[in-house]
Structure 1
Amino acid sequence: MKDQVFSGRDVEDALATASQALGVPRERLHYVVLDAGATSARGLNAQPARVAVLMDRTAPPPPPAPPDPGPRAEKDPRAGARAMVRAIAEAAGLEVGAEIEEAPDTLTVRIEGKDVAFFLDDDADVLEGLDHLLQRMYQRALDPRRLVVTCEGHRVERDEGLRRTAQELAEAVRRDGVPRTTRALNSYERRVVHVALAAEPGIRTYSVGEEGNRRVTVAPRAAEGEPEEPAGGG
C-alpha cells in the first residue's frame, strides 16, 4: 500500500490531519517526518511540516465490539441448568457443579461439590428457588417430564416429609370429614402428595389455586352415587 503524505503548521498538526483523514488514532500512526517545517523571523510558517504515513505498518482501529445481548436462556434444559448453577457458583464464589440424571418421567439436576451447604441453608430456600425457576423456564420444553433439583439426598428427605404430611392430613380428614389444604407446592411436590394418597380409602385429592400458589386439597371421597367436586388438575 502506497505511503501517504500530509502537511500542517508543524509536525503535530500534520499528524492530526493524517489521523482525521485516515480514521486512525494518532498513537497508531507509523510515520516519517519529511520536513519539520520552518518559521519566518516574524513567527509565521515560512514552510509547512510534512510527514509520510507508512500505510503498510499503520493498522486501522479494530471494529467496535458487538453489543452484549445480555444473558440468554439456553433452549436445552440440560445446558440451561448447568449454566444456571455455574452462574450462581461464580457469583457466590462456590465450588459446586451440576450433574444431570435422566429418567422416562424426570430430569434430575443434582448439585454436587464442597459448597452445597449454600443451597441447603435456611430450610433449603436457595435450592427450592432454583428448582422453581428452572421448572418455570423449561416446563414446556420437558413436558410431560418433570424437572427436579436436588443435592445430597435433600429431595429424598423432602419427599418423605411431604408423604408424612399427606398421611397426617388424610387421617385428620377421616376423623372429622373436614377437607384440609397443603401449603403452596410446585408441580412435582403436588404430584408426590397425589400419589401418596391415591390408594387411601375414603380420601381424594385435587389441586386448587393459580400457578405459583397452587395447593393440594385433601377431602373425603364422596359416597357412591354422590357427585364429587371436580379435581383442579395436577
Structure 2
Amino acid sequence: MEGRQEIEKSAGTAEEAIQEACLELGASRDEVEIEVLSEGTRGILGIGGQAARVRVIRKEGAAPKAEGFLRGVIRFLGLAGDVRVWEKDSDVEVKIYGDDSGILIGRHGRTLDAIQLLTEIVANKGSNRRVRVRVDIEDYKERQATKLADFARKMADKAVKEKREIVLRPTNALERKVIHSALNEDPRVTTESMGVEPNRKVTIRPTNNERTAAPEAH
C-alpha cells in the first residue's frame, strides 16, 4: 500500500499553491487535506511581498485504512493472520488467512460479519465517496456461497418435481443474492424475495405453476 503523501507549495496566493500541489500529487481537492501555512502578502507595487505557502496531504485511501484496522484487530486479539487487501471495481476486497481463523469467523460467520461492518465504517471515515468493503477469512464466504448455491439448485429441482413453490428460511441480502444468481438462468423456476428484514425469505416457484405455499426448507 502507498504511504502518506504530502507536499508543501508556495505561490502568489494560497489558492494557486493549492492547485499546484494537487496537480503535483495527481489528486483532486476532495482527495486531499489542506493546511494554509501562510496567506502571503502583496507588498507595495509588487515589491516586498511574500508568497503564500500551503501544506497539502493526500488522504489515506480506503484500502490502506481497512488493512491497518484489520491488522490492529488481529494484533489486539493476540492472533496471527496474513491480511491481503486490494481494490476491485472501486471497492475493497480483503482476504485473511491464518491458524486462528475460526475465532475470527465465529458461529455461522457472525463474527466475520461484524468485522466486515466495522472495517467498512473505518475505511469510509472522512470520505465523501462510500466504498464497499468485503472481508473473507480462509475463503469461508466463498465456500458458504457455493454450498448455498448448490442448496438452491436442489430446492429448485424439488419445486419442479413436486410442482409447488418452496419457501426458504430467512436469509440476509447477500445470501438472497447468491440464491437468485444461482437460479437466474434456470428456465424451470422463478425466484422472489418476500417479507421484511430480518425475516425476508426467497421463494422458489415452478414456472407457470399455480402458487401453492409450502413449508420452509432448511
Q: Compared with structure 1, are the counterparts of its residues 174 and 189 closer, same or farther at alpha carbon in structure 2 (3 Å cutoff)?
A: same
Give aligned pairs, total.
Answer: 149
Tell me if 1:128 matches 2:113: yes
CA distance in 2, matches of 1:178, 1:211: 25
CA RMSD of aligned residues (A): 3.6
Identical-pair percentage: 25
- Tell me the secondary structure at the aligned position of residue 86 of structure 2: strand
Aligned to 2:130: 141
- Which runs of 5 or more structure 2 residues have no equivalent in the other structure? 1-59, 211-218
Q: Contact 2:82 / 2:96 at 8 angstroms: preserved in 1? A: yes
Aligned to 1:204: 190
Q: TM-score, normalised by structure 2?
A: 0.53
Q: Compared with structure 1, are the counterparts of its residues 105 and 169 closer, same or farther at alpha carbon in structure 2 (3 Å cutoff)?
A: farther
Q: 1:89 aligns with which of 74, 77, 95?
A: 74
- Tell me the secondary structure at the aligned position of residue 192 of structure 1: helix
Aligned to 1:100: 85
- Which runs of 5 or more structure 1 residues have no equivalent in the other structure? 1-74, 227-234
Aligned to 1:59: none
Amino acid at match of 1:200: D
Amino acid at match of 1:122: R
CA distance in 2, matches of 1:184, 1:129: 19
* 1:147 Cα offset (Å): 3.8
- Tell me the secondary structure at the aligned position of residue 222 of structure 1: coil
- 1:7-32 C-alpha deviation (Å, 9 max, x unpaired): xxxxxxxxxxxxxxxxxxxxxxxxxx
- Tell me the secondary structure at the aligned position of residue 94 of structure 1: coil
Between 1 and 2, higher relative CO (CA 8 Å, sep ≥ 6) is seen in 2
Moved over 6 A (4+): 135-140
Tell me if 1:187 matches 2:173: yes
Q: Compared with structure 1, are the counterparts of its residues 84 and 212 closer, same or farther at alpha carbon in structure 2 (3 Å cutoff)?
A: farther
Aligned to 2:138: 152
Q: Contact 1:77 / 1:141 at 8 angstroms: preserved in 2? A: no
Return the index of the structure with the highest Cα Rg.
1
- 1:194-225 C-alpha deviation (Å, 9 max, x unpaired): 111011122111222334443322222336xx
- 1:126-155 C-alpha deviation (Å, 9 max, x unpaired): 22333455568889813xxx5432122222
